[in-house]
Structure 1
Amino acid sequence: MSSDLASDAADAAGASGSPDGSPDGARTATAPAPAAPGRNGLDRYFKITERGSTIAREVRGGVATFFTMAYIVVLNPLIIGLAPDADGATLGVPTVAAVTALVAGVMTILMGVVGRYPFAIATGLGLNAFVATTLAPQMTWADAMGLVVLEGLIITVLVLTGFRTAVFNAIPGQLKTAISVGIGLFIALIGLVDAGFVRRVPDAAGTTVPVQLGVGGNLQSWPVLVFAVGVLLMAVLVARRVRGALLLGIVVTSLLAVIVETVAGVGPTVADDGTVNPNGWSLVVPALPDSVASAPDFGLLGQFSLLGSIERIGAVAALLFVFTLVLADFFDTMGTVVGVGAEGRLLDDKGRLPGIGRVLFVDSLAAIAGGAGSTSSNTTYIESAAGVGEGARTGLASVVTGVLFLLATLFTPLVSVVPSEAAGAALVVVGFLMITQIRTIDFDDHGIAIPAFLTMIVMPFTYSITNGIGAGLVAYVAIRTAQGRARDIHPLLWIVSALFLAYFAISPIQDLLGVA
């Protein structure tokens, strides 16, 4: 791993990019361009020309990524900021919003400068819900964030020792492709659900069908119409290879949403008084804000207790919680790097990302920063694929995204204008771009095809990248062994599969150990 941090000489050999900056162009690999004496320092440092990109594409991609994940500045405070801890204390929405944007901005810039790839970082969804619903109710918020810091420290050690990189390289190439496809399906489902196009069937409906189209099987709301228009608009722009298709689509769809809200007065799905309107906007009401800027409060920085949880719940319970956080964060990031890297043609012929050690190192530091900032563990975001879809291939795009997050600490009202219906439309289109990789999987070899299939379907169906990777790896080890081809299994995969079995059985293990 130290060699990855010290040098990125392999980047030029394994990197490639889009010849035209279009989403379709992103699917075509190009050979790295030879060094040109006239290139400036920025170009040479980020290897912009070598990866077939331009500064304009990087900026455009960075902006697109920001707009597809800016919702976290609004959503994370609703998950973390309102949840009470064991003592009944809450962190507060405004303060969590400020530190969410701050940590995302700093760590995404660090990813761009050190990792030099177009990966953006922010509070991990799922991980924040676990912290809010499982950890905090059993301890103080400071104790819970201390566990997140511990998780980050452990992952950092795994990176520095080379273990995390070794596991990444041990996964068969076709399973890595399946991870990419699964993430494509996953983010498409996220877009559909966030927009209200796909919804959970109410328990009172008396049916075993888990999901449905819109409300009661019908598309009957203005927000869903805006989403549908956004998907069609972006699909047309992508099909016509329009430069900046996704970013342009997000902007136009957001403006349409503002107009619709101004005229129709739709309102939110859940009003301040708790009234539920199933035809409302899912998260952000796209109205022009009353104010452009607001002063951020960073008072939550440093408010964590590293070992306080052990005194509160005991060492065994704390260890199990840290194990859950480590495994989820470990493989969520790995899946994201594979998926986004493959979409940008950044992987080498063995499915490896040159210089991945740097990327994983920054990601591990982000977990520590998330706990230290009381935002929950920060991780690499699958929405980075939106920027890659716009032609981004280097860390310069991440620097742009990070700067926008830092500005968001001051301009949170403006960030709130972009509704999830607009961002969700972009995710659906990006999902399509990612699943096209499925054609490279050998479905005649059931030993790899079935694990690949499980990887692809478990991700969206369980709403978890980690669950999909775990199901695929466990199935791969089991089937290859049953085929008499255990020698094909990398030794590390035996260890990882055993850890995943423990991960899937964490509740019985807790019961066996008498942990609440």
Structure 2
Amino acid sequence: MEKFFKLKENGTTVKTEIVAGLTTFMTMAYIIALNPNLLTGFSQNGGKGLWNGIFLATCIASAIGMFVMAFLANKPFAMAPGMGLNSFFAFVTAQIVSITGLSYTESFQTGLVIILIEGIIFVLLSVLNIRDKIVNAIPLGVRLGIGPAIGLMLMNIGLGSNCGIYSDKGGPFFVLRDFFGALTAGFAKISMGSGYSMMVLTVITMFVGLFTIIILSRYKIKGSVIIGMLVASIIYWVGEIVFFHTNPFASLSSASWVPQFKDMAENTLFKINFKGAAQIGWFTIITLIVTFCIIDMFDTIGTLVGTASKANMLDKDGNMPNMKEALFADAVGTVAGACTGTSTVTTFVESASGVEAGGRTGLTALTTGIIFLLCMFIAPIAAIIPAAATSSALIYVGILMLSGLKNIDFNDITQTAPVFIMLLAMPVSGSIGHGIGLALITYTVIKLFTGKAKDVSILTFILSVIFLVKFFLVA
């Protein structure tokens, strides 16, 4: 272990790394079932076979990316099919169905062409150090602000979209918008109908978990995040049993514990439909590839830089050692995803929870990757972790990441303006890449019109133009 991961050099231990890997897994376990749900959400004829194939692809491709991250980059970052990108991919698949008349499964296989080409492009860009140069082209002030911006996005996810409640009044209803955003408790109860009681349980669970994590962390107790999530889960399960008379573990008895590899082989494994891509036109394919590349590239860069800054992995110039290897691992994950049958695999922002738990080396990523593989057999257990418990961890980590704001020079408007635009844009758009893009545009425009054009590198200017095109023409 010491030889591969240099634990002493990074001030960590095997136990700490394993706990960190488990913590990361628990905060992102939702993706294992959610990804196949999203990618088959528009399907009318995809069937259980496609769902099973995507489920297994999610576990396998994520693990492959994390193993490369562990052994090549020696970083504690976890990977899985990216949220947002998977929803967009599902929408693209549905559009392919309407354009070509192919079945949903065939259209899904056609969409995998986009993911494969995107992954190959990223492998080449990583090997040639071009992605690394793009990272270095981001102005230092913007790089320093990425971590806090991601922190706000994590808090927004935890208080918002991570916990959606449905009821006879519709939904989803969210904690921040519909519970705390209501003028009165009475108004919230009327608007949510039968879902109000579940919302109360969700809020209590979330904050008890959050306070538990904070208190344990204050006393420097190891594994505070995972302990807090377990406490929150127990409260939620007890609430379900006592107040709603439901068994939170009922799904365990009826769940399938045997991986459906036959479904994967028939529907997703190396089922990349190039003939279908020719039917929808290569211009459309190229446009979609560019769109996926831009979103994925800056989501990944932002996650790596932001999380690394929280772990004190950046040097004095704001650069992360082994960035090239980390980006290469991310690219390999995307290629593996296309070959096994899922949308773009990218570095997950939830990696920050493992970093906060003490993860500093690739052993954290290796641990998370192994658990992802085990989930092919024990997925039902991961599925019973309530969303409110994961929200506790996301909010806590988000709060901690705000500390990076102290490194921003608030006396320099050319730094603060791009950063605060990014602080607002990330949680509102739900995209790390969009937040960075708006920050780069803001930085470039301010520098150009304040007589400091020489401060803007050519690559920064090019990136700003690319994002302008993306926002106003491609989007």
Q: TM-score range by the shorter chain?
A: 0.7 to 0.9
1:373 aligns with 2:340: yes
Partners of 2:52 and 2:164 lie apart in 1 by: 30
Q: Could you report, residue by residue, the CA deviation over 1:214-240 in whole angstroms, capped at 9, with x for unpaired residues?
A: 775467521222112111211222222
2:3 aligns to what? 44
Classify the secondary structure of the residue corresponding to 1:122. Answer: strand
Q: State the partner residue of 1:450.
A: 417
2:24 counterpart residue number: 65
Residue 185 of structure 1 aligns to which amino acid in structure 2? L
Matched letter for residue 290 of structure 2: F
Aligned to 1:468: 435
Task: Please state whether the residue corresponding to 2:4 is helix, strand or coil.
Answer: helix
Q: Distance in 2 between matches of 1:143 and 1:451?
A: 39
Tell me, yes or no, if structure 1 residue 259 matches structure 2 residue 261: no
Q: How far is the alpha carbon of 1:301 from its aligned partner?
A: 4.1
Q: For residue 388 of structure 1, what is the amino acid of its counterpart? A: V
> Deviations for 1:171-203, whole angstroms, at most 9, x for unmatched residues?
12221111111101001111111454899xx99
For the residue of structure 2 that corresponds to 1:305, the secondary structure is coil
Structure 1 counterpart of 2:446, from 476, 479, 484: 479
CA spacing shift, 1:292–1:400, aligned 2, 3 Å: farther
Matched, 1:119 2:86: no
The 8 Å contact of residues 198 and 214 in structure 1, kept in 2 or not, is answered as no
- Look up the match of 1:33: none
Are 1:226 and 2:177 matched, yes or no? no
Residues 478-487 or 43-52, more deviating: 43-52
Aligned to 1:78: 37
Indicate yes or no: 2:260 matched with 1:297.
yes
- Asked if the contact 1:195–1:223 (Cα under 8 Å) also holds between the matched residues in 2, the reply is no
3-state SS, counterpart of residue 295 of structure 2: helix
Judge which range, 469-478 or 256-265, deviates more: 256-265
Name the amino acid aligned to 2:12: S
Q: Give 3-state SS (helix, strand or coil) of 2:461's partner.
A: helix
Aligned residue type for 2:111: A
**Higher mean Cα deviation, 223-232 or 344-353?**
223-232
8 Å contact from structure 2 (residues 109, 268) kept in 1: no
Query: Hey, what does 2:374 align to over in structure 1?
Result: 407
- The TM-score, its normalising length taken from structure 2, stands at 0.88
Residue in structure 2 matched with residue 311 of structure 1 by the alignment = 278
Verify the 8 A CA contact 2:158 2:390 in the aligned structure 1. Answer: yes
Tell me, in whole angstroms, the C-alpha distance in 2 between the residues paired with 1:235 and 1:423: 14
RMSD: 2.4
Residues 455 and 469, structure 1, Cα contact 8 Å, conserved in 2? yes
Q: Distance in 2 between matches of 1:132 and 1:267?
A: 32
- 2:125 matched to which residue of 1? 158
- Read off the aligned partner of 1:395 and give its amino acid letter: G
CA distance in structure 1 between the aligned counterparts of 2:333 and 2:245, rounded to whole angstroms = 38
Mapped to 2, the partners of 1:174 and 1:368 lie a distance apart of 32
Q: Which amino acid aligns with 2:203?
A: V
Contact 2:70 2:363 in 1 (8 A): yes
Query: Following the alignment from structure 1 to structure 2, what is the Cα–Cα distance between the partners of residues 125 and 54?
Result: 31
| 1:444–1:405 distance in 2 versus 1, CA, 3 Å | same
Residue 334 of structure 1: which of 301, 313, 320 is its match?
301
User: CA–CA distance in 2 between the matches of 1:258 and 1:470?
Assistant: 42
SS in structure 2 of the partner of residue 505 of structure 1? helix
When normalised by structure 1's length, the TM-score is 0.81
1:211 CA drift (Å): 6.1
Matched, 1:241 2:227: no
Shift in CA distance, 451/507, structure 1 to aligned 2, threshold 3 Å: same
Q: 1:196 to 1:302 in 2, by over 3 A?
A: closer
- Contact 1:292 / 1:414 at 8 angstroms: preserved in 2? no
Q: Does 1:137 align with 2:95?
A: yes
**Distance in 1 (alpha carbons) for counterparts of 2:179 and 2:434:** 23
Residue 311 of structure 1 deviates from its aligned partner by 1.6
Judge conservation of contact 1:178–1:438 (CA < 8 Å) in 2.
yes
Residues 38-93 of structure 1: per-residue CA shift (max 9 Å, x gap): xxxx21321211111111111110010000000001111110133228xx545643
How many angstroms apart in 1 are the aligned matches of 2:281 and 2:427? Answer: 35
What is the identity, as a one-letter code, of the residue corresponding to 2:150? I
1:379 deviates by: 0.5
Q: CA deviation at 1:110?
A: 2.1
Shift of 1:291: 5.7
2:103 alignment counterpart: none
The change in CA–CA distance for 1:195 and 1:126 in structure 2 (over 3 A counts) is closer
The residue number in structure 1 matching 2:51 is 93
The SS at the match of 2:346 is strand
1:24 aligned residue = none
SS of 2:343 mapped into structure 1: coil
Conservation of the 8 A alpha-carbon contact between 1:195 and 1:224:
no
Structure 2 stretches lacking a partner, 5+ long? 98-106, 190-195
Q: 1:457 to 1:308 in 2, by over 3 A?
A: farther
Q: State the AA in 2 paired with 1:238.
A: S
SS in 1 for 2:315: coil
Provide Cα deviations, 1:376-423, integer angstroms capped at 9, x if missing partner. Answer: 110000000000001110000111111111110100111112111101
Q: 1:406 to 1:241 in 2, by over 3 A?
A: same
Where does structure 1 lack aligned partners over 5 or more consecutive residues? 1-41, 269-284, 509-516
1:303: Cα distance to partner? 4.1
Q: Which has the higher helix share?
A: 2
Cα deviation 1:87-138 (Å, max 9, x = unaligned): x545643332222122222221221111210000101000000000124431
Distance 2:178 2:464 in 1: 31
After superposition, the Cα gap between the structure-2 partners of 1:362 and 1:73, relative to the gap in structure 1 and judged at 3 Å, is same
Residue 330 to residue 286, structure 1, CA distance change in 2 (3 Å): farther
